[in-house]
Amino acid sequence: MAAKIISLGHTKPTRKISNQYFVEMGLDTSDEWIKERTGIHSRYFTNNEKASSDLGYEAAINCLDNANLKSSAIDLIIVATSTPDHNGFPSTACLIQEKLKCPNIPAFDISAACSGFVYALSTAEGFLATKKYSNILVIGVDCLSKITNMEDRGTCILFGDGAGAALLSQSDTIDEGILLSTINANGSLANILAVPKGGSKHPFNETIAKEKSHFIEMDGQSVFKQAIKLVVNEIKQSLLSVNLTPPDIDYLICHQANQRILDKICQNLSIPLEKSITNIHKFGNTSAASIPLAMSEFHNQTGFKKGDIIVLAGFGAGFTWGITIIKW
C-alpha cells in the first residue's frame, strides 16, 4: 500500500525582515552582499508571543481547509522541528494536537534539523504501510530567529521562521504517491552545524547566556561542500532505484539553504534551473519548514499536475539528509 500527499498548507509570520534590517542593526554587511552570497532578499520573524506550535497549527488548518477535511479526520500527527516550544516536553506535536482539538491520537516530534520534513514523510509512509492509520498530518515548522545570534553575520542573515504541512493518506495504486523515501545521517559531521550549549550536556546558565553559545553556530564552507556532495549522490542513487534519471524530474524541491547550493545541485545533476522550485529569496532558510513551504506555495500558485515526478531533497545538521520521490 503506497502513501500519497492529498493536501498541502503553509503559513508565515506577519513580520517581514529585509536585508536592510541587519545593516541598520550595525552589522558589517549590505543588501547587495547578502543577495549575492545567499540569494535571500527577505525573511519572516515571529514576535515574542508566537512559537512553533502556533505556526504549525496555522499551516495545519490551511492544509485541512485545502483538503476540505476537519481535524477529526486525522489519526496521527508528526511534527519536524528543531525549535520546539519547550526544551524537553511536552512535544510541539502534542501542543498542536490540542489546538486542533483532536485528542487521543498519537502525536510526536522528529528532530532532524533541515532534513526533518523528509524524515517525517518517510516515517509517515511507514505508519501508513501498517494500515492502522488513514490520514497522517506531517508538519515542518521552525522559528530559527529564536535560536540565532543576531550579532553573528555568518548566520543571522540566513534564517527565518515558517511552517508547512502535508496530509498523507493511503494510495490505491503503487504507481502514484511516494515512490521512494530514503533517509540517512553521519554523526561524525555533527560539529559543522550545531547549537553547542543549552542542552543536557551543557545546561543553560549565565555563562552560556553571556558567551551566546546557545545559538546556532555553523561552518558554512563545510556545510556547502557536504550538502552538494551528499545530496547529488543520493538523488542519483534514489532515481536509479526506481528506474528514473535526472531528465525525468519535473520538479526538484531542495531544502532552501542557500541559492548557490541549490544552483550547484542543479548544475551537477544537469537539471535546468526552471525545474528547481525555490522561494529562498522571500523566506530565507526556514529549516524543517522550507520544503513543505516551497511545495505548498507552488501548488497554490501553479499547481502540480497528475503524473508529475517531484524530488524532495533535505539536508542539514546532524549531519542528516534524505530524498523523497513522488509521482503526483
Catalytic residue of the set 62, 135, 279, 285: 285
303 is written with which cell numbers?
499547481
Averaged pLDDT score across all residues of the chain: 96
Helix (H, G, I), strand (E, B) or coil at 16: strand
Q: Which tens digit of pLDDT belongs to each residue from 24-59?
A: 999 999 999 999 999 999 999 999 999 999 999 999
Q: Is 16 exposed, middle or buried (0-12, 13-18, 19+ CB in 10 A)?
A: middle
Q: What percent of the chain has pLDDT over 70?
A: 100
Q: Measure the CA–CA gap between 268 and 230, rounded to whole angstroms.
A: 12
Query: Residue 1 CA to chain centroid, in angstroms?
Result: 26
More confident residue, 2 or 164: 164
What residues does 8 pair with on adjacent strands? 166
Residue 156 bears catalytic tag: no
Residue 114 bears catalytic tag: yes
Catalytic residue of the set 63, 114, 156, 254: 114
Specify the pLDDT at position 171.
83
Q: Which tens digit of pLDDT belongs to each residue from 160-204?
A: 999 999 999 998 777 789 999 999 999 999 999 999 999 999 999
Q: Measure the CA–CA gap between 84 and 287, rounded to whole angstroms.
A: 13
Q: Which CATH superfamily is domain 2-174 in?
A: Thiolase/Chalcone synthase (3.40.47.10)
Specify the pLDDT at position 1.
61
Contact 310, 328 (CB under 8 A): yes
Specify the pLDDT at position 15.
97
Q: Which tens digit of pLDDT belongs to each residue from 57-85?
A: 999 999 999 999 999 999 999 999 999 99
Show me where the domains of the chain are located.
2-174, 178-327
For the entire predicted model, the pTM comes to 0.97
Q: What class is the 178-327 domain? A: alpha beta
Q: Which tens digit of pLDDT belongs to each residue from 200-254?
A: 999 999 999 999 999 999 999 999 999 999 999 999 999 999 999 999 999 999 9
Angle at 227 between CA 4 and CA 304, to 5 degrees: 30
Please give the single-letter amino acid code of residue 59: A
Residue 205 bears catalytic tag: no
